[in-house]
Structure formats: C-alpha cells, structure tokens
Structure 1
Amino acid sequence: MKPQMRRVVKLGRSTLAVTLPKEWVEAVKLKKGDYVLAEEGGENALRISKLKEKYYTAPKVCVINVDSIRSKTLLNRLIIGAYNVGHELIWLQSRRGFKPEQMVEVNKVLQKLVGLHIVEQTENIVLLQSLADPSKPSLDNSIRRLHLLTYSMLDNILRALSEWDKSLLDNVMFTGGECDKIYWLIIRQLLTAVTDKGVSESLGVRSYLWLVGNRAVVRILKTLIRHNESICKGVMKIIEHGIKPDKETLSKVIEIGRYVLQTQTETIDALLVRDIEKANSIIDQIIEKAEEINDISFKIASVVSDDIVKTALLNIIAELKCSLLDMKAIAEIAINRGTEESGSYITIESGVRSEETLRESVSKGSR
C-alpha cells in the first residue's frame, strides 16, 4: 500500500482521531469493534496493527455517560457497581466536560475501592482501571480480615467507655472506612467467581452455595460496621455530656460488649472450619443472652436518671444486641455449610436407596 496522507480531526473537546485507509482495512479484514495495537515506530512515527484474538482478548470496557446522570449520588454508585461486577476498565465520559465537584466525588469513591485507579484523564474522559487480582486473597482470609477490623472497632469503643477517654474513638470511624474497602473487594471477588471458575477455585470456593453464603456473611459484617459506628457516636455523646454512669451500669454495658466480641470471634471460627456443634452452641447461647440483655436494659432504664445518658446507653445496648443476633445468622450459615459434605453428623450418599436398604441402615445405626 502506498503512503497516504490523512487529516487529523477533533472529536469532542480534546480527543484527536484519524481515519484508517480503506485498502488496509479490507486487507486485514478489520471491522467495527475490533481492536488495533498502536506502537511507536520510530521518530514521529506510529505503527498500527490488527490484534489477533487468539493471542489477546481485550478487557470489557464499562462506559458511563456522565452527562445523562442527574442525581449527585448516582455516579459514585455506578462506579462501585461496575467495580463489583468485575469490569477492569471503567470509562467515564462527558461531552460537556467534568465539573470540579464531580472529580472530587470520583476521587472519594476511589478511596473506597481496592486497586481502582485513574490511568488517563482529559477534560472529557476519565479512564479507571482495576489493578486488583480478584483471585487474591482467599475468601476465608478476606472474611477474617473484615471480622478483625470490626472487632477492632468495638474493642476501641469499649476501651473508651471503660477508661472514659474520648481520644480512643478517633480511629474508629477511620477503621470503618477500611472495612468498606474490604467489603467491596469481597463483593467483587464473589461476583467474579460466579462466572469465572478459575477465580472460584483460587478463592477456595467449594460450591456455588458458598458464594451465596459468603455474600450473606459479608453483608452481615458490613452491618456490624454500622452498629459499631452508631455505638461510637453514643459513647462519644455520653463522654462529651460529662455525666459518667455509675460503676455497676457501666460494667454491665461493657460486659455485654465483651460478650459480643467473644461471640463474633467464635462464630467466624465456626464458619471457617465448618464446626456444626460449635455453631449450634453459639445459637443457643445467643438466644439465652438476648433475654438477659432485655432485662439489663429494663434495669438501666429505671436506675439512670439523666435522660441523655439513659437514651444513649439504651441505644448502645440495642445496637450490641443487634450485633449479637447478626452472629446468630452467621452461625446458621455455618451449620448449613456443614451439611454440604459428610462429617460427624452428616453422611452424603449418591444415588437412590431402596426402602429395604434404608431400613437396614437405620437398624444398624440403632444397635
């Protein structure tokens, strides 16, 4: 093909483009949607070649038309959604150009998402790329990490209440932000594992039921973050109010909090090792403890005279009780998971057994 001159044209406010020679397009059988590779070919030269699909599969690009978004909160949620479902490239485009406040919001949401960065930015285009490997870390490690962060939040809150030291609450909200990062990363892993068997195996997922169960578990752990943030605000309000509850009342509230922390640790352990007996015991204990917490709330309501302190303490206890009941739900998931394979209490057999064989099995088991 003879050298041909092409005029550079402008698309939008800042994008420049050139058309491809028809003769070359037909020769390489290039069609709409194909990808080409652009490489520097020497001084002031650009070499373009057609990519062969068997050697390269371009990542899907999620294009978000920012101009069509009217709500101030929708852009952030669309970015999070695109990240969660596994898009490696997220293309934000605006013919009118991005407003400063829009870029502020984009940068805020990037702080919540592990591995998502701006790799290209112009007046009309912002290209986000996820550099996070969805197959790492394993789901068990991610869940344990999220648990430890939520544990740390409540532990600091209880220390602040016990030592009457508001400064211990400074890191609680920051830890909540870190929890959000882990949460969105796990959601991305789970949704990617649904369609990618390789990722699913790398994450240690034994069945698709695990994906459903883990989705519920991380959602519950995210709820714990909100409970802890609410408890933190309540403790801060009491300390700033300056009226310290009596020693017995304070001790009872802290005792409930410590029980929640212990139960949370035991529940996550039961889930990850599929300990049916331990999970069942946790459920029984939580049901019993919930009744005890109701009695404690009633007593505190009758002995604390200051209305601000009373309201704050009752709200704190209510949030702690909710956290405890959330652990009950995770323990139930642990039991469900334990029934998916043979163990001390369960035997999984394939095929259909006759009534006679079943009677023989029952007879042997009763001896």
Structure 2
Amino acid sequence: MEVRRVQKFGKSTLMVSLPADWVKEVSLNPGESIYLEVDEDGSLKVYPPNLRTESVPREMKVKISITTSPELMTRIIYSLYILGFDKITIETLNGPFSEDLLRKIKESVRSLIGLEIVSQDITSIQIQSFLDPTKYNIGSLVNRLTNTLKQMLHYLNLGIREASRTFLQEVVELEKEVDRLYYLSLRQLLLAQVNRSLAYMIGVKRIQIVGNRILMKAAEEAADEISEAANDLLSLHPEDLALLKMSWDKMDMLIDQTSVVIDHVVKVLNKEDIKLVNEALEELRTLRRVLLSDALLLEEKIQRMNAPKVATAIRTLNLRLYNAIRRMEPIAEIAFNRGIEGLKEVVIE
C-alpha cells in the first residue's frame, strides 16, 4: 500500500496527488473528471472517467473420462459459470463423449444465461460466455426473480381451479427460469466482489454482498417449494385432480395471500423502512399460523372425500406453501437490518 501526504491548497482545501502509474494506466488527462465514492468502511474510491468493467477473460480446461458422472459434469459447469469463467473447454481422455454425458453438458449450457457452445467434436466441447455483466443490475434481478415467483403461484392457482395439467406444467417451467436468474445473480455478486467498478455500476455495495446472496437463495428455495407442489399435483390421476378442484375456493385464498405477502416483502426490501419491514414480518408469521390452522380444518373435509391420494395432495400443498413462506423470512430480516444500518439513530414514534 502506498502512503501519500495530504497537503493544504488555499484556505480550506485539502489535496492529495494521484499516483503517476495509475494516471498512465487509465489514460487520465488534465481537465477530465474522475468519480469519487465513499465506501461502507469509510475508504474513498477513485474511478477514472471510463469505468473499466472488463477484465482479462478467465478460461478453464476440464479433462474428463468418458465414464465421468453426468451429474458431476453439470455441477462443474455450474460452478465455473458462477465463479465468472468466460471460456470452458471440456476434453475427454479416452474416447468420444457418451450420449448421456453430451446431453447433460448441452442441458447445462442451455440452462445458464449467456452461455453457448461455440465449437464441438467427438472428444472436445468449447463453451463461451457472451454476458455483458454491466447489463444486469442486482436490483432488477431480484425483482425479476420474485415476479417469477408470483407468476408460479398464479399458474398453480389456475392449475387447481381448472384441474389443468398445462397450467401446473407451466409452474415447473417457470421454476427453471428462477434457477437461471439465481445462477446469474451469484455470478454477478462474485464478479462485483473482485471488480469494484462493476459493483458500482450494477448497484452492489460491498457490505450487502452476503445479504444479497442469502436473499437470492431464499427466493430460489421458495420457488423450489412451489414447483414441488405443482409436481405433486401432476402426479395425480386426472379424476383425482378434478376432485381436488372442489377445494379450490380455500386454496385460492391461501395462494393469493402467499403471493401478496411475497410482494410486500420485496417492496420493503427496496424501501428499507423498519416499520414497514416489521409489518411484513408479522404478515409472514400470521400467514404461517393461518396455514397451520387451515390444515386442521381441512382434515374433516379430507376424511369425507374417501380419496387418499387427494387427501395427501391437499396436505402436501399446504405444507409446500408454509415452507415457501418460511423461505421468505430471511429476505425480510435482511431488509430490516438494511433499514437499521442506514440510520444515525433509531426513533420509534
């Protein structure tokens, strides 16, 4: 770390010179403007006129056996994507790709935003990222992710009301979109951690990186619960699904309340108002109590159905909604903490 002495300039202005090597590296000329940012730890960040967000492309070569587990290969691709690698070359050591391995690699690439296979032969595949990280603001990614969550609940509701497998299948497809946004968000957060210029452009504060990762994971897990609820219903026989429709009025209210609470949690995350966040936390807890009490009330109706599979589906659906609500609580807690950290004093009127 270089140390420079602060000098007085005029009656009240303090001045420090810029390092010559840095000035040369960023091609800074006299008369140009620079950007100053006070970081969370009190340090001062200096940015050149053209913020440098690009870095040296990161490449990784992966050498595998043709007997390598397709699931392991999927995890490697996902991990390299999250870690910010721009080019991935996969080569086999002992023959051509197996059909299962090749299929899994292609599925993995298609499920990650910005990745494409740019070349391929029987023993080698080259994957490249065409993402421009400056185009994906973290706030907009959070909103897209939670809006997709609400869409999932909407189609789940329609699937029950119409006894429609098409609507239920749409819930499952939307969960894949949540996963794509989740992995992109993780990639952005890790890139922002090592590239402060990029972090500045996409709205990531250093102190909030961990919290952002937690809230993204919470939303992704809530989507998993809703998707599993749809899969549970898809496993029913059409006649049982039609029978479940008889309980739609009650399910409609619970699903609608779940969607409303999720919407409130996201809104208070943006406002960082501790009173509003506290109200959202109470809404979450109240809805969880309602789901538990309604589960008991549904038992009598379930007993009269004389349809074991439908009874199980109703119980499981209630539990899935309960779990989805639980997954949203960390997001509200993060919003509460952010509301506190921005205050100089706490005043409750």
What's the TM-score once normalised by structure 1's chain length? 0.73
Determine helix, strand or coil for the equivalent of 1:59: coil
Q: Note the aligned Cα RMSD (angstroms).
A: 2.4
Give the match's secondary structure for 2:136: coil
Question: Is the Cα–Cα contact under 8 Å of residues 300 and 310 in structure 1 kept in the other structure?
Answer: no
Deviation at 1:209, TM superposition (A): 2.6
Shift of 1:110: 0.6
Residues 301-310 or 153-162, more deviating: 301-310
CA deviation vs aligned residue, 1:79-133 (integer Å, no higher than 9, x gap): 1101100011112122324314222211110111111112232343322111112
Out of 256, 268, 271, the position equivalent to 2:269 is 271
Larger deviation, residues 166-175 vs 281-290: 166-175
Conservation of the 8 A alpha-carbon contact between 1:237 and 1:312: no
Pairing partner for 1:75 from 67, 73, 76: 73
Aligned twin of 1:298: 296
Tell me whether 272-281 or 161-170 shows the greater mean CA deviation: 161-170
Judging changes above 3 Å, is the alpha-carbon distance between structure 1 residues 140 and 58 closer, same or farther for their aligned structure 2 residues? closer
Distance 1:60 1:246, change over 3 A: closer
Higher mean C-alpha displacement, 251-260 vs 165-174: 165-174
Please give the secondary structure, in 1, of the residue aligned with 2:104: helix
- Determine the structure 2 residue equivalent to 1:143: 142
Check the 8 A contact 1:135/1:199 in 2, yes or no. Answer: yes
1:323 partnered with 2:321: no
Aligned length: 291
Q: Is the 8 A contact 1:110 1:117 kept in 2?
A: yes
Partner amino acid, structure 2, of 1:181 = R
Equivalents in 2 of 1:92, 1:197: separation in Å? Answer: 31
Counterpart in the other structure of 1:182 = 181
Deviations 1:262-321 (A, max 9, x none): 000110111122232211101112222222221110111122132211111010011111
The one-letter code matched in structure 1 to 2:320 is: E
Q: Structure 1: where are the runs of 5+ without partners?
A: 1-55, 348-364
Aligned to 2:312: 311
1:354 corresponds to = none
CA drift at 1:68: 8.6
- Structure number, greater radius of gyration: 1
8 Å Cα contact 2:87/2:128 also seen in 1: yes
- Residue 142 (structure 1) shift: 0.5
Tell whether the 8 Å contact from 2:66 to 2:93 is kept in structure 1 after alignment: no
CA–CA separation in structure 2 for the residues paired with 1:321 and 1:292: 9
Residue 286 of structure 2 is matched in structure 1 by 288
TM-score, normalised by the number of residues in structure 2: 0.77
Corresponding residue for 2:96? Answer: 98
Asked if the contact 1:118/1:127 (under 8 Å) is kept, the reply is yes
In structure 2, distance between residues paired with 1:139 and 1:315: 33
- CA 1:292–1:169: 2 relative to 1, 3 Å: closer
Aligned-partner residue type, residue 333 of structure 1 = I
- Contact persistence 1:193–1:199 (CA under 8 A): yes
Query: 2:66, 2:95 within 8 Å by CA — same for their partners in 1?
Result: no
- Number of the residue aligned with 2:338: 337
Specify the alignment match of 2:131 in structure 1.
132
SS at match of 1:304: helix
Opposite residue 142 of structure 2, the aligned amino acid is: I
Bigger mean CA offset, 224-233 vs 90-99 = 90-99
Q: Which amino acid aligns with 1:82?
A: L
Deviations 1:122-156 (A, max 9, x none): 34332211111223210010111011112111111
**Quick check: 1:238–1:244 contact (8 Å CA) kept in 2?**
no
Structure 1 residue ranges, 4+ long, deviating more than 4 angstroms after superposition:
none
User: CA offsets per residue over residues 20-65 of structure 1, 9 Å max, x none?
Assistant: xxxxxxxxxxxxxxxxxxxxxxxxxxxxxxxxxxxx9752311111
Gaps of 5+ in 2: 1-53
